[in-house]
Structure 1
Amino acid sequence: MSKVLVLYDHNYANVLGRVDAGTLNLSIDKVGLKFTVQVPDTSLGRDVYANVKAGNLKGMSFGFTVAKGGDSWNRMNTKPTRTINKIEKINEISIVSMPAYDDTSVNVTRNFDSFKKYKEQNYRQKVIYYLDHM
């Protein structure tokens, strides 16, 4: 995961951070993938930050490659449901207006203590993210 990018809306022209630049940190635990990003002081960074803070942008989507045989399909409440057991590569994570995954969230915080409090209050969600203050 050393070359993963965080983007706005899956657009590679809208880079908000990257692991190999030290502006994006990723971690995985039993609940899911988490990230922290130091948002750049650019017009895009300020706009995305303001929209997350205002609650206009609330979720995430991901660009990844599933390993061969790493997924299965089932029906859950009459809906087809894909279970991914093994990801070959994560290319990017995106802050989006229409998240592909309803159990994701993104939050703005000024410091890690604020993030920990937010995380404890919202841990029922499978994936939690936050944007670091500029």
Structure 2
Amino acid sequence: MHDIIRKYRNTTIAHSQSNLVLPLPVAILDTEGQGVDVMGVSVIHSMPLAVAESFANLIGEMEGIVELATPPLLERLRTWLMDQDPEAIDGWELPEVIHAIDSEFTAAHRRKRIPRFTSYWRIEQPGEELPEHFSG
């Protein structure tokens, strides 16, 4: 199932290279049949229901595994934490929160081992109106 979802993501979500997506150029003709314009149209079929149901079942199974694995892990972490000196705890690296403008975003960044979070902000230009789905 993981392989199916990975391939679905790579071919349909990220790159639209699957047989579930059909991008087409559409010729716009005048009344005499002369081409006057062209536009792009995509016919898209979402993930087949049987695959989506199987994926949902996989997620449910994984949630169960995580639920069983979490309490012993938390207990080990609590035991370890209680053995730490306050001076050592004081030296722990705090998460870094970075602020950037939205134009700096790239999906190519990968999370690093250092705890870091980037919050992206939009800078509005004077007189610029936000798209409707951002307002009120």
Q: Given the two structures, how large is their TM-score scaled by the length of structure 2?
A: 0.20
Q: Which has the higher contact order (CA 8 A, sep 6+)?
A: 1
> Which structure's residues are more often helix, by fraction?
2
Q: Given the two structures, how large is their TM-score scaled by the length of structure 1?
A: 0.21
Rg larger in structure: 2
> Which structure's residues are more often strand, by fraction?
1
